[in-house]
Amino acid sequence: MKDLTKGNVFKLILVFTLPILFGSFFGMANYFVDGIIVGKNVGKEALAATGEVFPFIFCMVSIVTGISIGSNILLAQAYGAKNPQLVSKIIETNIIFLFFASLFVTFGGILLCPYVFKVMNIPVDVMPYAIIYTRMYLAGMIFMFFTNTIQAMLRSMGDSRTPFYFVIVTNVLNIAFDLIFVLWLKMGIYGISLAVILSYIIVFGGLFYYFFRYQKQVKISLFHLKFNKKIFFKSFKLGLPIGAQTLLQSFAMILAFSIVNNYGTNAVAVFAVGGKIDAIMFMFAMDISSGLSAFVGQNLGAGRYDRVKSGMAAAWFISFVPIFILTVLALIKGEWLIGFFTDDKAVVELGTKYLLIVSGFYLICMTTYIFGSVFSGAGRTILVLISTIIGWWIVRIPVSYFLSKSIGADGVWWSIAAQWSAEFIFALILFNIGKWKNKISIQTISHD
């Protein structure tokens, strides 16, 4: 475990986030290989389906994920405040909550998905793939919840290296299972879904064993877990804005896909492929922000407000190079990038235009994530929620609806750029106002 409250800020951020960044490289490879295998061996309908379903999945997991993130905000601050008893209570409460919540999400999602997809107006040729993929994906949700949460716990306590190793294993296994189930056994969309589930089951087993067997900082017995109501409601209060943010974002994404669906399977496939390329940027931005949030949480827990801006600057410079390279590639080699996923000429042509419009705003989006990680690390999660409402509901959905009426699918692509720009401006103003500095979330539970 790493104490992030002492030492050179740039070096700390770099050393702490390098494993997360390397993990993103493996995640990026997995995204590309997975998309290529689906697009070129199963078809553009399956490729479109893998993009269509995620707004619904995000909607189902939103509140659970938000509360878990709220718990990790408390965890980082408690660890920075050198309070191991409180750290243990936070972890135990989060484990119990996640177990029951994941069961609810799994069964609820499996039952609801066909009805939601009809409301989304998913194309008829895409619908069967979407239902199969979603139901199989949700069947493994409990393992995904715990895998991602334990990794986040370790990062909150200053350990970014161990999650990195498990991220590598997850992505390598996923690619290997894709090759076996899709290329060798010809299982189609079933193989793609099964590859995800099995990779997470295996990694969950190893990560769970490591966390409770080898980490020395916190002593927890799985047979004597205790649920702390005060900690849960504090996590709920912190995480509800994040969960609500994801929920509202998911509903907005469902509306966005509904608009895109009006332009047929080619447009839906472009949205899915473009989303995979955008996801490379999101992986870098979110992983750096995850590390920065832990840094901010620990330093605010220790009362080191002076180090936050230095941490932000370090995180921005570390993020800049890979995202700038991706931006240049998308702008000048967009056709080449889209062509990795599909040989369909109409999809490649439309996808190239998507990248020309959207990729120029990658750096703006990345900077917004850095601001958001400071707000989250400080416990000011409500600010992230407000940013989402402004970006998605006040800007993106109206712009997408009205602009697509006049210029077609291009109007949807331009609405993405408008959303990212609006969120950036809002975050910049909020950060300079500085009210986030006054929020230390563990003060109300540290004496419980």
DSSP 32-99: HHHHHHHHHHT-HHHHHHHHHTHHHHHHHHHHHHHHHHHHHHHHHHHHHTT-HHHHHHHHHHHHHHHH
34: amino acid identity, one letter: D
Size of the chain in residues: 448
The most confident of 12-16, 295-299, 418-422, by mean pLDDT? 418-422
- For residues 329-349, give the mean pLDDT: 88
**291-337 tens-digit pLDDT:** 787 788 777 776 777 787 888 888 888 888 889 999 999 999 989 98
Name which residue leads in pLDDT, 26 or 82. 82
Residue 74 burial class via C-beta count within 10 angstroms: exposed 0-12, middle 13-18, buried 19 and up:
buried
Least confident of 275-279, 327-331, 368-372: 275-279
Q: Residue 335: left if φ>0, alpha if ψ -120 to 50, beta else—which one? A: alpha
Q: What is the DSSP letter of 391?
A: I
Q: What six digits make up the tokens of 135?
A: 């139901």
Band (1; pLDDT cuts 50, 70, 90): low
Q: CA-CA distance, 112 to 250, in Å (whole number)?
A: 15
Structure confidence at residue 2 (pLDDT): 58
Least confident of 102-116, 209-223, 260-274: 209-223
Structure confidence at residue 3 (pLDDT): 60
pLDDT score of 17 more than 90: no
Structure confidence at residue 154 (pLDDT): 84
The backbone torsions φ and ψ at residue 445, rounded to the nearest 5 degrees and listed phi first, read: -125, -5
Q: CA-CA distance, 342 to 347, in Å (whole number)?
A: 7
Least confident of 8-17, 23-32, 126-135, 225-234: 23-32
**DSSP for 103-136, written as a single string:** HHHHHHHHHHHHHHHHHTT--TTTHHHHHHHHHH
Rounded CA Rg of the chain: 21
* 129 in Cβ contact with 49 (< 8 Å): yes
Structure confidence at residue 200 (pLDDT): 92
Structure confidence at residue 399 (pLDDT): 95
User: Token pair 């605010």 is at which residue?
Assistant: 300
**Residue 143 to residues 21, 113, 170, 387, 446: CA-CA distances in angstroms?**
23, 20, 12, 30, 30
Structure confidence at residue 81 (pLDDT): 76
Q: What is the DSSP letter of 263?
A: T
Residue 425 burial class via C-beta count within 10 angstroms: exposed 0-12, middle 13-18, buried 19 and up:
middle
Number of helices (H), then strands (E), in the chain: 17, 0
Structure confidence at residue 31 (pLDDT): 64
Band (216; pLDDT cuts 50, 70, 90): low
* 283 in Cβ contact with 27 (< 8 Å): yes
Structure confidence at residue 135 (pLDDT): 93
Q: CA-CA distance, 144 to 208, in Å (whole number)?
A: 12
Domain ranges of the chain: 9-440
pLDDT score of 232 more than 60: yes
Q: CA-CA distance, 311 to 17, in Å (whole number)?
A: 11
* 67 in Cβ contact with 235 (< 8 Å): yes
Band (79; pLDDT cuts 50, 70, 90): confident
pTM: 0.69
Name which residue leads in pLDDT, 368 or 12. 368
Q: What six digits make up the tokens of 405?
A: 């009426």
pLDDT score of 44 more than 80: no
pLDDT score of 8 more than 80: no
What is the residue-averaged pLDDT of the chain?
84
The backbone torsions φ and ψ at residue 162, rounded to the nearest 5 degrees and listed phi first, read: -60, -45
Structure confidence at residue 217 (pLDDT): 65
pLDDT score of 49 more than 60: yes
Structure confidence at residue 368 (pLDDT): 94
Residue 325 burial class via C-beta count within 10 angstroms: exposed 0-12, middle 13-18, buried 19 and up:
exposed
pLDDT score of 448 more than 60: no
Residue 385 burial (CB count, 10 A): 22
pLDDT score of 218 more than 80: no
pLDDT score of 138 more than 80: yes
Q: CA-CA distance, 167 to 196, in Å (whole number)?
A: 13
Q: CA-CA distance, 260 to 256, in Å (whole number)?
A: 6
pLDDT score of 390 more than 90: yes
Name which residue leads in pLDDT, 236 or 399. 399
- For residues 249-274, give the mean pLDDT: 84
Name which residue leads in pLDDT, 293 or 226. 226
Band (402; pLDDT cuts 50, 70, 90): very high
Burial profile 298-313: b = 16 or more Cβ within 10 angstroms, e = fewer: bbbbbebeebbebbbe
- For residues 192-217, give the mean pLDDT: 86
pLDDT score of 286 more than 60: yes
Residues 6+ apart with CB under 8 A from 428: 371
pLDDT score of 415 more than 90: yes
pLDDT score of 434 more than 80: no
